[in-house]
Every structure is written in structure tokens, then in C-alpha cells.
Structure 1
Amino acid sequence: MKFGVILFPGSNCDDDMMHVLGNVMGRETIKLWHKDKDALKDFTTEDCVIVPGGFSYGDYVRAGAVARFSPIMESVIDFANRGGYVFGICNGFQIVCEAGLLPGALLRNRDQKFIAKNCYLRTETSNSHITRKLEVGEVINLPIAHAEGRYYADEETIAALIANDQVLFRYSDALGEMGEEANINGSTQHIAGICNEGRNVFGMMPHPERASEAILGNEDGRALFASLIESVEGVTA
């Protein structure tokens, strides 16, 4: 399984991803320039494109709105529609929502402030390529760093996400409870991550790549990348 990490103007988590996927997970990892429409020509549907965090195009207009029109995104949309894996994290989640690969939108945080801290997430399903190594109800701890991370969708969309088991994670406390304080940015129904109906596109605001090594004191995020690799390759990662 090969990974490609897109670099937009303003991306700042691309090298973190390159390190984790290449050095920690041991998989071929290539940096993809946002203007290269042919960057995915050697990718198969068993490979994965990472849309990383940061502040693409300075978050002008709104987060992800400009990056969605970068030349590479036409190829990413086609790749996803053919069944290839796409994983958007933080700003990447915003971009894939803007591109229509995932439903809903990411709005300004409830308190209108940038938040950078660790938070708890309750696993809502193991029926996805990035959560298969997790148990339903299992709580993990990952960092967040965003000003526009409040997930929003209309009632019909939320109902469909729940009915189709597309909600991956919800913000919670350490025990998996979802009180108001645990909903750190005010997301609709505490939603922190989702997948598409085809279950090959994933998006989440927290950063698993920032919690994937023992040296950092937290390896909770590694399970997501290991789940994806094991699901696709059929080998322990």
C-alpha cells in the first residue's frame, strides 16, 4: 500500500504525515504537489491519498474553500469515486467536505476561539478501514488544533450518517461520556470524524499523526493507520 501526502500552500502537517507513514509505519510515501494534476497516475485503488492539516491558502474565504479548487483535487475526486482511499485530517477534513467527498461542513468553533489541546474521542464503529483495530466505545486521546472544527450538517444528513454507521468518532470525556464540556468545539452530536457511504473516504478533525510514537507519550493515533494498512494489505502493521 502506497501513500501520497498533498502539499498545498499553507499546509503544515505534511512532513508529520510523511514521517509517520514512511518511517513509523514503513510504507512508501510520496509528497504530492497541489498543482500536479497527474500526481496520482501511478496510484491504484489500494493506495491512499492523505489531505493533511494546516492552513491551506491561509484559510481565506473559509477553511478549505480555496484548496478544494487546486488542480490535484480533480484527480483526488476521481480517485475516490473509483474506490481509492482518501483520508482528510483537520484542514484536510475541511477540504474533502468542500470538495463534496464527505457531507456536511466545518464551522467556527462554538466559542469562536482557536483550540489546541488533547481531547478524548469515543469510537462509534469498528466498521471502517481506519477503526477496525478499535472496539466500539473505546476511548482514545488525540490532539486537536483548529479554529473551524465544529462539524455541522442538517438533520437529514445526520440521520443518514447514523443510519449508515458512518460516524467514526465523537468527542467525549475519558470515560466515553458526552457531556456538554466534552464537546470541545460544539460539533453537531459531538461528531469528530466520519466516512462516506462507500467507506473509502475518511475525515476527522483530531490529529492521529501527532500521537503515533512512544517517544511522544501517546500511540493512540497509530491504530488508525495500522487499521487501514491491515485492512488493505491483510498483514499486521
Structure 2
Amino acid sequence: MSEENKRVVVVTGAAGALGDHVVAHFSKRGERVVCWDLHAAGHGKLVEDKERSSVWQQQVNVTDAQAIASAAASVREQLGPIDVLVHCAGGFRWSKIEEIGTDDIDFLVDVNLRSSLYVVREVMGPMKSRGHGRVVLISSRSTLKPGAGEGAYAATKAGLNALVSAVADEVKGVDVTINAVQPSIIDTEANRQDMPDADFDSWVDPAELASIIYGLCPAEEHPINGALLVVAGRT
């Protein structure tokens, strides 16, 4: 596959446990992957990853609309149109509603909902104009039945679900799709440290979740649009 025929894939939260697996899954299959993350190299500029071929780093704050617009413009200028967006950036806070601080509410709204609105807004217009694009967001199974302490978190992820459903309706008639995966607890080092007594084998394998995400982003025309796909761990 020639370089110009390889798709351009933007992965947000690329330095996180899930994002890293998503980057690896796409790059190993010949895609050109741009890693957007607060901890990435580049300070807003697009720089090649020295350790991985076909991977670029770009330090981006996805809660900053102007930073997203600037980063996307750099991607389009240097690599071409964005074909795929996988929005892995997000965050979690556990707190009973009467105890949650304003800072934590702002954090959840910003990283889970505001960032989703910003990144989808940035890529959707060009994708619709070109008649092709794939977007996958990361929701949560907790939106189906939030437990105690998950109210604020689940509310922001439920807003993300609403965004997927609405935008999916807006792109009918063109080969642009937007879907979300709704995993239960993902098996990450951070989650293991937070819940040391849990049954890790029952959690979602991030590599398997990355494979599912990749399956929602085929190059050929794709019928799945507006799906909120529950991904449960082994029980």
C-alpha cells in the first residue's frame, strides 16, 4: 500500500492504556496514526514517533477547542484528510452526589463530554464533504445502570451516547459512521491499583477492545452506524 493510500487515523488519549492498544492495532495494519495526548511529544506540532513507523505524536488538549482545530489543521496539511477518529480520551471520578466537588464535576464534563463534542465537530464536516469517515467514541456500560457513586461520570458518558445517536442520524446517506463502545471495567494497571481485590479476569481486555474498535472502522462501506456496543468482560 502506497503512503498516500494509507488512511489517516487520529487517536485521542493515545498515551493511555486503551489508546496505546488502539494505536498499535491500527499502525500494525498499515494505517498512518496520529497520537493526540497531553503527554505526547510535539507541543502541538506533528512529530514522527522515533520508535514506531507510521506513527506521529502531537501534544493536544482535547478540552481546548482551539488546540483541536490547530492540531487537525496540522494533520491535514502534513498527512491529508482525517479518515478515522477514535476518541479514547476520558476520565473517571467516583463520588456520591452530595460529596462530589465542583472541580470533579468540571473535570468529568470537560474530558468526557466537552472533548467529545469538540473532536466530533472538528472531523465531521470534512468527512461529510468527502463522503467517507469513521468515528468511534468510548462510552461506558455504567450508562445503562449506574451504580452508587457513578452518577456524575455516567451522566457525562450518557451525553456522549446522545451525541452518537444524533450525529448518526445527521450522516445518513453518506459513507460516514459514528459509533460508541460501552465497556465494563477495562483491565488497566490503574484499575488494578484502585481495585486490588477485584477479579481481574472478569474485566475487559484492552487489546480485545481495540480489535473491536478497529472492526467498526473498515475502509469499505459500512452499515453499522449509531451503535452503542456493550463490551462486557468475562463473568
Q: Which category of TM-score, normalised to the shorter sequence, fits these structures?
A: 0.3 to 0.5
Taking structure 1 as the reference length, the TM-score comes to 0.42
CA radius of gyration, larger in: 2
Which structure is higher in strand share? Answer: 1
Taking structure 2 as the reference length, the TM-score comes to 0.42
Which structure is higher in helix share? Answer: 2
